[in-house]
Chain A
Amino acid sequence: NAGVTQTPKFRILKIGQSMTLQCTQDMNHNYMYWYRQDPGMGLKLIYYSVGAGITDKGEVPNGYNVSRSTTEDFPLRLELAAPSQTSVYFCASSYSGTGAMGTQYFGPGTRLTVL
Protein backbone atom coordinates (compact mmCIF):
# COMPACT_ATOMS: atom_id res chain seq x y z
CA ASN A 1 0.00 0.00 0.00
CA ALA A 2 1.20 3.49 -0.83
CA GLY A 3 -0.99 4.88 1.96
CA VAL A 4 -1.87 8.55 1.51
CA THR A 5 -0.23 10.31 -1.41
CA GLN A 6 -0.28 14.03 -2.18
CA THR A 7 0.68 16.02 -5.25
CA PRO A 8 2.39 18.32 -5.88
CA LYS A 9 5.11 18.36 -3.20
CA PHE A 10 5.84 22.05 -3.73
CA ARG A 11 4.07 24.89 -5.52
CA ILE A 12 4.45 28.64 -5.85
CA LEU A 13 1.34 30.61 -6.80
CA LYS A 14 0.76 34.24 -7.60
CA ILE A 15 -1.96 36.14 -5.75
CA GLY A 16 -5.33 35.47 -7.36
CA GLN A 17 -4.33 32.23 -9.08
CA SER A 18 -6.18 28.98 -8.52
CA MET A 19 -4.98 25.46 -8.00
CA THR A 20 -6.04 22.03 -6.82
CA LEU A 21 -4.10 19.98 -4.30
CA GLN A 22 -4.53 16.29 -4.94
CA CYS A 23 -4.90 13.60 -2.29
CA THR A 24 -5.36 9.87 -2.86
CA GLN A 25 -5.50 6.98 -0.42
CA ASP A 26 -5.44 3.27 -1.21
CA MET A 27 -6.50 1.94 2.18
CA ASN A 28 -10.24 1.96 1.44
CA HIS A 29 -10.75 4.50 4.21
CA ASN A 30 -14.12 6.18 4.49
CA TYR A 31 -12.93 9.36 6.21
CA MET A 32 -10.57 11.89 4.70
CA TYR A 33 -9.29 15.21 6.02
CA TRP A 34 -7.39 18.31 4.94
CA TYR A 35 -5.23 20.20 7.41
CA ARG A 36 -2.94 23.19 7.08
CA GLN A 37 0.12 23.90 9.18
CA ASP A 38 1.60 27.36 9.43
CA PRO A 39 5.25 27.75 10.49
CA GLY A 40 5.81 26.77 14.13
CA MET A 41 2.14 25.99 14.69
CA GLY A 42 -0.01 22.91 15.07
CA LEU A 43 -2.30 21.59 12.35
CA LYS A 44 -5.70 23.14 11.72
CA LEU A 45 -8.55 21.26 10.06
CA ILE A 46 -9.83 22.81 6.82
CA TYR A 47 -12.42 20.29 5.58
CA TYR A 48 -13.24 16.66 6.11
CA SER A 49 -15.35 13.98 4.47
CA VAL A 50 -17.04 10.94 5.99
CA GLY A 51 -17.64 9.25 2.65
CA ALA A 52 -18.07 9.82 -1.07
CA GLY A 53 -20.40 12.73 -1.69
CA ILE A 54 -20.30 13.99 1.91
CA THR A 55 -18.09 16.85 3.08
CA ASP A 56 -18.09 19.26 6.00
CA LYS A 57 -16.22 22.32 7.17
CA GLY A 58 -13.46 22.27 9.74
CA GLU A 59 -11.92 25.14 11.70
CA VAL A 60 -10.54 27.19 8.80
CA PRO A 61 -12.57 26.54 5.60
CA ASN A 62 -12.61 30.06 4.16
CA GLY A 63 -10.87 30.32 0.80
CA TYR A 64 -11.05 26.58 0.09
CA ASN A 65 -13.41 24.11 -1.52
CA VAL A 66 -13.49 20.33 -1.58
CA SER A 67 -15.31 17.52 -3.32
CA ARG A 68 -15.40 13.78 -2.75
CA SER A 69 -16.62 11.89 -5.80
CA THR A 70 -14.77 8.64 -5.01
CA THR A 71 -13.61 6.87 -1.86
CA GLU A 72 -9.97 7.22 -2.90
CA ASP A 73 -9.70 10.91 -3.83
CA PHE A 74 -10.25 14.11 -1.87
CA PRO A 75 -8.96 17.16 -3.78
CA LEU A 76 -8.65 20.58 -2.15
CA ARG A 77 -9.31 23.64 -4.34
CA LEU A 78 -7.94 27.13 -3.79
CA GLU A 79 -9.91 29.56 -5.96
CA LEU A 80 -8.21 32.93 -5.40
CA ALA A 81 -4.87 32.40 -3.74
CA ALA A 82 -3.86 34.87 -1.04
CA PRO A 83 -0.56 35.23 0.87
CA SER A 84 -2.38 34.07 4.04
CA GLN A 85 -2.74 30.66 2.38
CA THR A 86 1.01 30.14 2.36
CA SER A 87 1.32 26.98 4.42
CA VAL A 88 2.00 23.26 4.37
CA TYR A 89 -1.09 21.23 3.56
CA PHE A 90 -1.58 17.71 4.86
CA CYS A 91 -4.17 15.20 3.78
CA ALA A 92 -5.16 12.36 6.10
CA SER A 93 -7.52 9.40 6.09
CA SER A 94 -9.08 7.00 8.58
CA TYR A 95 -11.38 4.00 8.33
CA SER A 96 -13.95 5.52 10.65
CA GLY A 97 -14.31 8.49 12.98
CA THR A 98 -14.17 6.65 16.27
CA GLY A 99 -11.93 4.48 18.42
CA ALA A 100 -9.09 2.43 17.02
CA MET A 101 -10.54 2.58 13.52
CA GLY A 102 -10.49 6.36 13.74
CA THR A 103 -6.71 6.55 13.71
CA GLN A 104 -5.71 9.07 11.06
CA TYR A 105 -2.85 8.43 8.64
CA PHE A 106 -1.19 11.39 7.01
CA GLY A 107 0.34 12.09 3.64
CA PRO A 108 3.75 13.76 3.16
CA GLY A 109 2.31 17.23 2.63
CA THR A 110 2.25 19.95 -0.04
CA ARG A 111 4.27 23.08 0.62
CA LEU A 112 2.47 26.07 -0.92
CA THR A 113 3.82 29.60 -1.23
CA VAL A 114 1.63 32.46 -2.46
CA LEU A 115 3.51 35.56 -3.62
Chain B
Amino acid sequence: DAKTTQPPSMDCAEGRAANLPCNHSTISGNEYVYWYRQIHSQGPQYIIHGLKNNETNEMASLIITEDRKSSTLILPHATLRDTAVYYCIVRAETSGSRLTFGEGTQLTVNP
Protein backbone atom coordinates (compact mmCIF):
# COMPACT_ATOMS: atom_id res chain seq x y z
CA ASP B 1 0.00 0.00 0.00
CA ALA B 2 1.21 3.51 -0.83
CA LYS B 3 2.53 5.73 1.94
CA THR B 4 0.61 8.87 2.88
CA THR B 5 1.75 12.21 4.31
CA GLN B 6 -0.52 14.43 6.39
CA PRO B 7 0.14 17.54 8.49
CA PRO B 8 0.31 16.60 12.18
CA SER B 9 -2.23 19.21 13.27
CA MET B 10 -4.73 21.77 11.99
CA ASP B 11 -7.16 24.23 13.51
CA CYS B 12 -10.54 25.31 12.21
CA ALA B 13 -13.21 27.73 13.42
CA GLU B 14 -16.60 26.28 14.21
CA GLY B 15 -19.00 26.66 11.27
CA ARG B 16 -16.23 27.05 8.73
CA ALA B 17 -15.06 24.44 6.25
CA ALA B 18 -12.19 22.21 7.33
CA ASN B 19 -9.89 21.16 4.48
CA LEU B 20 -7.55 18.32 5.38
CA PRO B 21 -4.81 17.54 2.84
CA CYS B 22 -3.12 14.23 2.13
CA ASN B 23 -0.22 13.42 -0.17
CA HIS B 24 0.04 9.93 -1.68
CA SER B 25 2.47 10.40 -4.55
CA THR B 26 3.24 6.68 -4.96
CA ILE B 27 -0.38 5.59 -5.27
CA SER B 28 -1.09 2.81 -7.77
CA GLY B 29 -3.97 2.66 -10.22
CA ASN B 30 -5.97 0.13 -8.21
CA GLU B 31 -5.54 1.78 -4.82
CA TYR B 32 -8.41 3.55 -3.11
CA VAL B 33 -8.10 6.57 -0.85
CA TYR B 34 -9.94 6.10 2.45
CA TRP B 35 -10.54 8.58 5.24
CA TYR B 36 -11.25 7.56 8.82
CA ARG B 37 -11.35 9.60 12.00
CA GLN B 38 -10.85 8.74 15.64
CA ILE B 39 -12.45 10.75 18.39
CA HIS B 40 -10.46 10.53 21.61
CA SER B 41 -9.67 6.82 22.00
CA GLN B 42 -12.94 5.63 20.45
CA GLY B 43 -12.87 3.14 17.59
CA PRO B 44 -12.01 4.67 14.22
CA GLN B 45 -15.02 5.84 12.22
CA TYR B 46 -15.27 5.51 8.45
CA ILE B 47 -15.85 8.81 6.66
CA ILE B 48 -15.49 8.40 2.91
CA HIS B 49 -13.43 6.77 0.20
CA GLY B 50 -12.74 7.20 -3.51
CA LEU B 51 -10.72 5.90 -6.43
CA LYS B 52 -10.56 8.59 -9.11
CA ASN B 53 -13.65 10.75 -8.97
CA ASN B 54 -14.59 13.25 -6.31
CA GLU B 55 -17.02 11.83 -3.77
CA THR B 56 -19.55 13.34 -1.39
CA ASN B 57 -21.66 11.85 1.37
CA GLU B 58 -23.55 13.14 4.37
CA MET B 59 -20.37 13.60 6.36
CA ALA B 60 -17.82 15.02 3.96
CA SER B 61 -16.48 15.52 0.45
CA LEU B 62 -13.34 13.96 -0.98
CA ILE B 63 -11.44 15.76 -3.73
CA ILE B 64 -8.81 13.70 -5.55
CA THR B 65 -6.40 15.43 -7.93
CA GLU B 66 -6.36 14.32 -11.53
CA ASP B 67 -2.94 12.64 -11.15
CA ARG B 68 -4.22 11.00 -7.91
CA LYS B 69 -1.08 12.01 -6.04
CA SER B 70 -2.97 13.99 -3.44
CA SER B 71 -6.43 14.44 -2.00
CA THR B 72 -8.37 16.73 0.31
CA LEU B 73 -11.08 15.84 2.79
CA ILE B 74 -13.59 18.64 3.25
CA LEU B 75 -15.88 18.96 6.25
CA PRO B 76 -18.19 21.70 4.97
CA HIS B 77 -19.39 23.12 8.30
CA ALA B 78 -17.12 21.94 11.09
CA THR B 79 -18.55 21.54 14.58
CA LEU B 80 -16.86 21.00 17.93
CA ARG B 81 -17.75 17.31 17.65
CA ASP B 82 -15.54 17.06 14.55
CA THR B 83 -12.44 17.49 16.73
CA ALA B 84 -10.57 14.24 16.12
CA VAL B 85 -7.54 12.63 14.51
CA TYR B 86 -8.16 12.17 10.79
CA TYR B 87 -6.41 9.37 8.94
CA CYS B 88 -5.84 9.26 5.20
CA ILE B 89 -5.23 5.68 4.08
CA VAL B 90 -4.36 4.28 0.68
CA ARG B 91 -5.55 0.72 0.30
CA ALA B 92 -4.91 -1.80 -2.42
CA GLU B 93 -7.81 -3.67 -3.95
CA THR B 94 -6.59 -7.11 -2.83
CA SER B 95 -8.21 -9.74 -0.72
CA GLY B 96 -7.92 -9.17 2.99
CA SER B 97 -6.07 -5.93 2.47
CA ARG B 98 -5.28 -4.18 5.71
CA LEU B 99 -5.78 -0.56 6.62
CA THR B 100 -2.36 0.94 7.31
CA PHE B 101 -2.83 3.79 9.77
CA GLY B 102 -0.20 6.52 9.87
CA GLU B 103 -0.14 9.24 12.50
CA GLY B 104 -2.96 11.27 10.96
CA THR B 105 -3.92 14.92 11.41
CA GLN B 106 -5.22 16.20 14.72
CA LEU B 107 -8.04 18.55 13.77
CA THR B 108 -9.14 20.94 16.50
CA VAL B 109 -12.36 22.85 15.91
CA ASN B 110 -12.44 26.03 17.98
CA PRO B 111 -15.58 27.87 19.13
Contact = CB atoms under 8 A, between A and B. Distances in A.
Contacts of B97: 97-98, 102
Contacts, number: 62
B102 A102 contact: no
Interface string B77-111: 00000000001000101111111111110000000
B41 A98 contact: no
Contacts of B91: 102
Nearest to B43: A106
B22 to A, nearest CB: 14
Given A45-B98, A105-B46, A106-B43, A99 B93 contact: yes
A103 B46 contact: yes
A16 interface: no
Q: Which of B43, B44, B49, B93 has the most CB of A within 10 A?
A: B43
Contacts of B99: 33, 43, 45, 92, 104
Interface residues of A, number: 30
A45 B101 CA distance: 9
Interface in B1-57: 32, 34, 41-46, 49
Given A42-B101, A42-B104, A98 B95 contact: yes
Contacts of B100: 45
Interface of A: 4, 31, 33, 35, 41-45, 48, 50, 56, 58-59, 88, 90, 92, 97-100, 102-109, 111
